């Protein structure tokens, strides 16, 4: 069983790392463009704040969340961009404060969810542990966009394991969202952690394999770097094809990043 408090600690650590990048910025720098088309730094933080707020509603008032989702109807596909646009118009100090307060409220809400209860979401219902793991992944991924906008380098941490785990677990989703049938067999994934240890998933004798640095795998499954720019190796055609389509996030396929974009 996942340790919720450990995951909440990882979430807090990921948020703190990103906050160290944005908190000192003058207001004008919140308007800097990021690699995500049309999104500034303010859009990135606004998106995180909005999603934390929505996750809190899912954790505390499932009926309201379900009604909101139903009312969105066809707008569900544009909801994220519209919310980011609206949030980006908030003055930077207010937006920063909203994000700080919202993520703390979310952590408290997830702690209060009764054991065994799953929360409604845009995809399948999620346990509190799955919900906060997804928030870690999103915070890290959007934090990468902010770091890229600022030309900053972030030190990889053991928190990457959360993101890598989602990347492995969402293998079949990457096929389904494209209307394709996933391979029947499991893959072996072996990733080198920032401290040099090995993180593994799947059977040791699997014929299809992926290996390389954990940071590179996380950048790939969040579509923050092009595969050609990463030191990931595969054995087997199915494993190779998976790396071309992998995505750890819900929703439609993304455009990703161009090869050599961050050379």
Question: For position 69, which CATH number holds?
Answer: 1.20.120.450
Percent of the chain with pLDDT over 70: 99
Supply the pLDDT for residue 35: 97
DSSP state of 225: S
Q: Are residues 8 and 112 in the same domain?
A: yes
Say if residue 3's pLDDT is above 80.
Answer: yes
Query: Could you tell me if 68 and 107 lie in one domain?
Result: yes
Residues 143 and 167 in one domain: no
216 versus 115: which is more confidently predicted?
Answer: 216
Indicate whether 1 pLDDT > 70.
no
**Which residue is listed with tokens 């893959």?**
187
Does residue 214 have a pLDDT over 80? yes
Query: Is 254 contained in some domain?
Result: no
123 & 31 share domain: yes
pLDDT in tens, 4-35: 999 999 999 999 999 999 999 999 999 999 99
pLDDT at 37: 93
At 74, the pLDDT band (50, 70, 90 cuts) reads confident
Residue 143 shares a structural domain with residue 164: no
- The number of domains in the chain is 2
Residues 139 and 26 placed together within one structural domain of the fold: yes
* 9 and 136 co-located in one domain: yes
pLDDT tens, position by position, 33-71: 999 999 999 999 999 999 999 999 999 999 999 998 888
Is residue 58 domain-resident? yes
Instruction: Give the single-character DSSP code of 123.
Output: S
Q: What rounded mean pLDDT belongs to the chain? A: 95
> Is residue 77 very low, low, confident or very high in pLDDT (cuts 50, 70, 90)?
low
Q: Which of 127, 150, 173 is the last residue of a domain?
A: 150
Domain assignment present for 226? yes
* Host domain of residue 134: 4-150
CATH code (residue 196): 3.30.1050
């Amino acid at each position: 069983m996942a340790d919720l408090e450990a995951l909440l600690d990882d979430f807090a650590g990921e948020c703190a790392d990103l906050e160290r990048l944005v908190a000192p910025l003058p207001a004008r720098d919140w308007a800097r463009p990021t690699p995500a088309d049309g999104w500034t730094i303010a859009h990135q933080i606004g998106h995180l704040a909005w999603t934390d707020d929505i996750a809190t509603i899912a954790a505390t008032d499932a009926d309201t969340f379900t009604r909101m989702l139903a009312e969105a109807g066809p707008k569900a596909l544009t909801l994220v961009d519209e919310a980011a646009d609206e949030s980006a118009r908030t003055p930077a100090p207010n937006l920063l404060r909203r994000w700080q307060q919202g993520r703390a409220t979310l952590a408290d809400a997830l702690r209060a969810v009764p054991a065994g209860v799953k929360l409604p979401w845009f995809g399948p219902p999620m346990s509190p542990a799955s919900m906060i793991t997804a928030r870690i992944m999103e915070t890290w991924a959007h934090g990468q966009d902010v770091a890229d906008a600022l030309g900053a380098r972030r030190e990889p941490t053991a928190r990457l394991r959360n993101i890598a785990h989602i990347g492995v677990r969402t293998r079949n989703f990457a096929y389904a969202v494209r209307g394709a049938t996933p391979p029947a067999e499991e893959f072996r994934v072996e990733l080198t952690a920032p401290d040099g240890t090995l993180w593994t998933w799947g059977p040791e004798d699997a014929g299809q394999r992926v290996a390389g640095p954990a940071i590179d795998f996380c950048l790939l499954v969040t579509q923050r770097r092009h595969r050609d720019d990463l030191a990931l190796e595969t054995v087997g055609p199915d494993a190779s094809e998976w790396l071309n389509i992998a995505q750890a996030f819900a929703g439609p396929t993304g455009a990703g990043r161009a090869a050599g974009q961050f050379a």
